Structure 1
Amino acid sequence: MTVIYSCKLAHINDTHSHFDPNRIHFNFEHKDKALSLHTHSGGYSRLAFQIEKARQQALDDQQSFLFLHGGDSFQGTLYFREFKGKANAHLLNLLKPDAMVLGNHEIDAGNGPVLSFLNNIDFPLLAGNMDLSQEDIGKTTRLRDHKNLLDFDPQTQTAKVLLKPLQDKTLAIVGITLDQMKEIARPDPDTHFVDAIETTQRTVDKLKKQGIDHIIILSHLGLTQDRALAQQIPDISLIIGGHSHSLQDDFTQFGLPYLPYGERVNTIPILHAGKYAETLGIADIEFNAEGRVTLLNGHNYFMLDKQFMLESAQGVATDDYAWAHAQLSAHPSILWDDEAANIRQTIDTLYRPTLIALEEQIINFVPKNLIHTRLPSKALPHGSEISPWISRSIYHETRILDETIDFALHNAGGVRQSLAKGHLTLAEVVGRLLPFDLPLVKYQIQGRYLYQAIESSINHATNNSVIGTGAGSFPYAYGLRYFYDGRRPLGQRITQLDILIQEEHHSKNQQESWKPVNVDHYYVGVSSEYTASGKEGYQALQQAKWQRPISELSLAQAFIQFMQKEQDLEQTLPLQVHYTSHH
């Protein structure tokens, strides 16, 4: 008789300190009317309820149960800004994950916050390609040999592995994270990340020799690299991922793009669960004795408010609400707002009061939704609608301090979400929109390196003939406009690069005009410290003649100050991104 090995799996990723339900919106078409539905989904108390329900169902059905986190618990909201990871550890402990993989945002501020997190969690943190063999043995933030960390084993050149029982077999969970960590985060200089695919291959080979065939890769590589992992290493049973914020499942009727849940590459299923604790993946999985997944049934679930708002330019009628509720109720991936009361009480009593004062400080009014997308698309051919405002704020606020500033340049990943119509609060800016509050740096740089930096950062963002680090590197500017054609050869893709010239006239009014960037001329720019340090394709900025920190201003402060001057967000900014894909 064929033995079936059954497991119920719950998974989340890229939760980014979104402990409360997150604002979302869906778009419908009904009776030739475009409807926009605004509601909230997820949050830790709703996650906890559904995870515990799944855990109990597995127990009742005599299944193994696993709950895994695909990395990037840190950053994202005021909870992280105020509590620096302590709330993350506490609340994750209450959710009781079996393991979490290290994400790049866990190590944004060096190894210290990772150590604090490790000291406070009740579950293992997996980082199987993080090599600590050269770590300074006397440092106060030493991670090596920590009881809660499964890192790289330099003797065997493999990942340390979490083993779990699966009926009469052993299930191995291997945590693999980005090997480009030094480019996109700030690990300590003595902390290294070795090749993700090679480490996975060696680890899988070792496990197979030990007779372990059921192998789950818990990955923080992003969906594209997960596909490469599956293509190159056929003995993997299942990949559970994060980093790319990929929401799998069919939500096309709500206006969201379609990605199949449990997409198979080389017969290996890959599972991702979106972002910001808005959705929870739950799957029933069956393996054969050789470790292959023979059956996978599951969904990513939204956990929605029972009450919601509807908007339409054509007006909203009572039957529209009933119709929309029926659409949601009938969808297999929609759950409602049941929550674990103990988690809600913990958040509300220990953490929430600190945030309330910031949420009451209104700095502007947003007259329409401003969408943030990292890359240009058919719907938004010039890319993000909010990133140009952020670049403009950096430019103008820095020019108050230094009139020699010619341009601002910022990466899309530093902006974390869209802005919804309504009051813009201090909490919204520092907690959600610009949670990293990066220092600003001004620099003097030759025009030739601006060409290089902009092309290289776009190539990195689009995996366009290079190994990219993710769409977060895509450049947005103010005072610079560029024309990029990905169909052209490397080094020739910026077909036009212009700089905005401020000209004084006899009337004392300033006029602005665009002039081509001269490759030999020097210009003064301002960027976040992260971008100016040459991360994610911006290496050419390291060729600056000089770089100087701006101690009086940070990224978030610049945007807040600029917005407090009653900027008219109805205004259309001059187009500064002109992008042609390589496809």
Structure 2
Amino acid sequence: MTEHRPLSLTLAHLNDSHSHFDASRIPLTLPGLGTVFAECGGYARLCSAVDRAKSEARDEQRHLLLVHAGDCFQGSLYFAHFKGTMNAVLNNQLDLDAMALGNHEFDLGNPPLAEFLDHIQFPMLSANLDLSQEDQAKENPMRGKPGLLDYDDDAGHGRFLVRHFDGEPVALFGLSPDNMPELACADPDTHFLDCLTVARATVAAIRQRGINKIILLSHLGYDRDLMMAEQLQGVAAIIGGHTHTLQGHFDNLGLGGRDHYGVVIAGTVVVQAGCNALFLGRLKLDLNADGSLSRVDGGNLLLLGQNLSRDSGGQQALTAPEEEQAWSYLEGQDNLWQVTPDPTVHRLIEEHYRPEIREFERQKVAVASRDLRHIRIPDDKGGSDVAPLLAEAMRWQARQMGLETDFGLHNAGGTRASIAQGKVSAGWIAGTLAPFAIGVERYRLSGRELTDTLESAINNATNNGVVGTGTGSYPYAAGLRYHYQADAPMGERIRDLQVDRDGRWQPVQPEAIYYGVSTGYTAAGKEGYYPLARLPEPPQELGLTIAEAVIAHWQHLGTLD
């Protein structure tokens, strides 16, 4: 029988970093000063904070694990331009012990994630990711990659990581959302099993190995983590992500926060550390010999830089008395660290990545001859001027590739800004207008399926007879026109649907076959586009993102009107 010992363990943790490698300038509310913008976070500063956490753990004779609770993909122009390659390099710089697999890691399907797994130097944990049916004829299948600890179909539980501290084993496993098909664009042969069932089986397998100190890295979201703590026995801590929840009281900085740090439920402590590489959590656990909690301490820390300003651009400096007052207050707060960026990581970003991004930001693509308004649901001034341009760009791109394509279809929420008259740059398109680096996909459907898709999306956006998921599902099209009769019975609300073929408008026939293009998010049937999820044939990936399609088309056009 294994003889266990107590253990003092610090878990340094972050989540939902979303490619925020540069510092962010965020608004703080300070007594007597009002709103002051402070430069915070970023990976260079995060690396320095991790070094400090390790040093303090050594001084306190505590062991330390550094973990990331998922969603490192998406979120910035860096990801839009470099995809996952920069994420692999920068997260390797953190020297992570483990990372959970988040939903946004699948936004571009499996290939970018598979490449990411080939280059990271830390394990990726997702005990409920089932790759047993994955097509091994793929160019780069994920099943069997040594750095991926997924579901073991033969054993009936998730794989887990074991770390030893002075001979005492600690096991870590991860969970990804089991509703992944609703959230992202994993390949059809990639499945996610019920989280609680897999978690219970995995904990049982860990305990059968004689390990009683267990950590769960969860990307399920804060409320589900609290439920998991109630339902799952034998786990000391759940390190969470997905909902960007900032635990702790940050009212002293005007940042709010939810609950106190380290909520304990049924003997399991639950933590989460905000988002966007702004915070580092430090969970200090004293574990009894039997793996139960003896003591819980720690907190989330805002990673604060040196620069304060009155404006978000950092151009309007504080007066000298204001600066002195601000720092006098900030230096007295215990929920922040003032951190100098790590020079090696700062230099890596500045020399290897920033020059290309600066050029991308300056690159002129087109000129808007007038202001172009974006609105999600049409009002008395009409619908969006912008979203149809994105739909047309996808259709144009597919046709440039020699693919028969009748229409482009784009959800209103996938367009994030209006366009001001004047120059439009590539950086603005990829970073502001279409910031989600999601691929373009082509699909085959009948006229009836197209009609059902349009009605379902509008019903969802307007809550007409259904409880919708938000106005972002409202459809904008290139190559289609129709009327929506809101008071007609369900299934009969789309009237006079026509398609533009060879410059002529033709009625859409229910049994005829048509080809459309959308982002992978829409093509997967998300948020009201449910009929597209039920098509008999999977969509065809075109190998480029919507931002790349828009940039190519608008360069071709030169002028937007």
1:75 is aligned to 74
Displacement, 1:233?
0.6
Q: Is the 8 A contact 2:376 2:384 kept in 1?
A: no
Query: Please, which of 327, 337, 341 is the counterpart of residue 335 of structure 1?
Result: 337
Query: Please, which of 11, 25, 28 is the counterpart of residue 26 of structure 1?
Result: 28
Residue 383 to residue 391, structure 1, CA distance change in 2 (3 Å): closer
Q: Is the 8 A contact 2:108 2:437 kept in 1?
A: no
Q: Which amino acid aligns with 1:163?
A: V
The DSSP-based 3-state class of the residue aligned with 1:431 is helix
2:168 is aligned to 169
Q: Which amino acid aligns with 2:430?
A: V
Displacement, 1:97?
0.5
2:308 is aligned to 308
Deviations 1:407-435 (A, max 9, x none): 986375x578999xxx9964354136614
Question: Which residues of 2 match residues 2-401 of structure 1 at below 5 A?
Answer: 4-28=6-30, 30=32, 35-260=34-259, 261-310=261-310, 318=319, 319-361=321-363, 392-395=385-388, 398=391
> In 2, Cα distance between the equivalents of 1:68 and 1:454?
41
Q: Is the 8 A contact 1:104 1:178 kept in 2?
A: yes
Q: Is the 8 A contact 2:439 2:520 kept in 1?
A: yes
> In 1, Cα distance between the equivalents of 2:527 and 2:474?
16
Displacement, 1:50?
0.9
Displacement, 1:554?
7.1
> In 1, Cα distance between the equivalents of 2:183 and 2:206?
31
The DSSP-based 3-state class of the residue aligned with 1:285 is strand
Residue 248 to residue 410, structure 1, CA distance change in 2 (3 Å): farther
> In 2, Cα distance between the equivalents of 1:131 and 1:293?
31
Displacement, 1:277?
1.2
Deviations 1:104-126 (A, max 9, x none): 22222333222222221221111
Q: Is the 8 A contact 1:158 1:202 kept in 2?
A: yes
> In 2, Cα distance between the equivalents of 1:264 and 1:307?
37
> In 1, Cα distance between the equivalents of 2:262 and 2:225?
12
Q: Which amino acid aligns with 1:288?
A: N
The DSSP-based 3-state class of the residue aligned with 2:223 is helix
> In 1, Cα distance between the equivalents of 2:452 and 2:357?
45
> In 1, Cα distance between the equivalents of 2:267 and 2:534?
46
Q: Which amino acid aligns with 1:475?
A: G
Deviations 1:497-551 (A, max 9, x none): xxx999xxxxxxxxxx99767625255899644224312553145689x999999
Q: Is the 8 A contact 1:184 1:536 kept in 2?
A: no
Q: Is the 8 A contact 1:219 1:239 kept in 2?
A: yes
> In 2, Cα distance between the equivalents of 1:479 and 1:115?
33
Displacement, 1:43?
1.1
2:509 is aligned to none
In the alignment, does 2:435 pair up with 1:434?
yes
Q: Which amino acid aligns with 2:216?
A: I
2:371 is aligned to none
State the identity %.
32
Deviations 1:13-56 (A, max 9, x none): 1112221112322345648xxx3322321111111111012112
> In 2, Cα distance between the equivalents of 1:335 and 1:102?
28
1:475 is aligned to 472
In the alignment, does 2:523 pair up with 1:539?
no
The DSSP-based 3-state class of the residue aligned with 1:306 is strand
Q: Is the 8 A contact 1:454 1:538 kept in 2?
A: no
Displacement, 1:212?
1.9
Displacement, 1:158?
0.5
> In 1, Cα distance between the equivalents of 2:407 and 2:188?
33
Q: Is the 8 A contact 1:263 1:271 kept in 2?
A: yes
Gaps of 5+ in 2: 368-374, 397-405, 500-515
Residue 207 to residue 144, structure 1, CA distance change in 2 (3 Å): same
Q: Is the 8 A contact 2:39 2:306 kept in 1?
A: no
Relative to structure 2, which stretch is displaced further, 441-450 or 342-351? 441-450
> In 2, Cα distance between the equivalents of 1:416 and 1:73?
21
In the alignment, does 2:403 pair up with 1:410?
no
> In 2, Cα distance between the equivalents of 1:324 and 1:418?
36
Q: Is the 8 A contact 1:76 1:416 kept in 2?
A: no
Residue 10 to residue 534, structure 1, CA distance change in 2 (3 Å): same
> In 1, Cα distance between the equivalents of 2:294 and 2:462?
40
Q: Is the 8 A contact 1:448 1:519 kept in 2?
A: no
Gaps of 5+ in 1: 366-381, 466-470, 481-499, 503-512, 568-583
The DSSP-based 3-state class of the residue aligned with 2:54 is helix
Q: Is the 8 A contact 2:485 2:495 kept in 1?
A: no
In the alignment, does 2:495 pair up with 1:521?
yes
Deviations 1:195-231 (A, max 9, x none): 1111001111222333322111011112122122112
The DSSP-based 3-state class of the residue aligned with 2:306 is coil
Displacement, 1:155?
1.7
> In 2, Cα distance between the equivalents of 1:223 and 1:455?
30
Residue 299 to residue 411, structure 1, CA distance change in 2 (3 Å): farther
The DSSP-based 3-state class of the residue aligned with 1:20 is coil
Displacement, 1:323?
3.6
Residue 184 to residue 300, structure 1, CA distance change in 2 (3 Å): same
> In 1, Cα distance between the equivalents of 2:362 and 2:473?
30
The DSSP-based 3-state class of the residue aligned with 2:305 is coil
> In 1, Cα distance between the equivalents of 2:153 and 2:559?
55
Residue 28 to residue 440, structure 1, CA distance change in 2 (3 Å): farther
Q: Is the 8 A contact 1:408 1:527 kept in 2?
A: yes
The DSSP-based 3-state class of the residue aligned with 1:239 is strand
The DSSP-based 3-state class of the residue aligned with 1:332 is coil
Q: Which amino acid aligns with 1:538?
A: Y
Residue 188 to residue 46, structure 1, CA distance change in 2 (3 Å): same
> In 1, Cα distance between the equivalents of 2:275 and 2:417?
11
Relative to structure 2, which stretch is displaced further, 448-457 or 71-80? 448-457
Q: Is the 8 A contact 1:501 1:515 kept in 2?
A: no
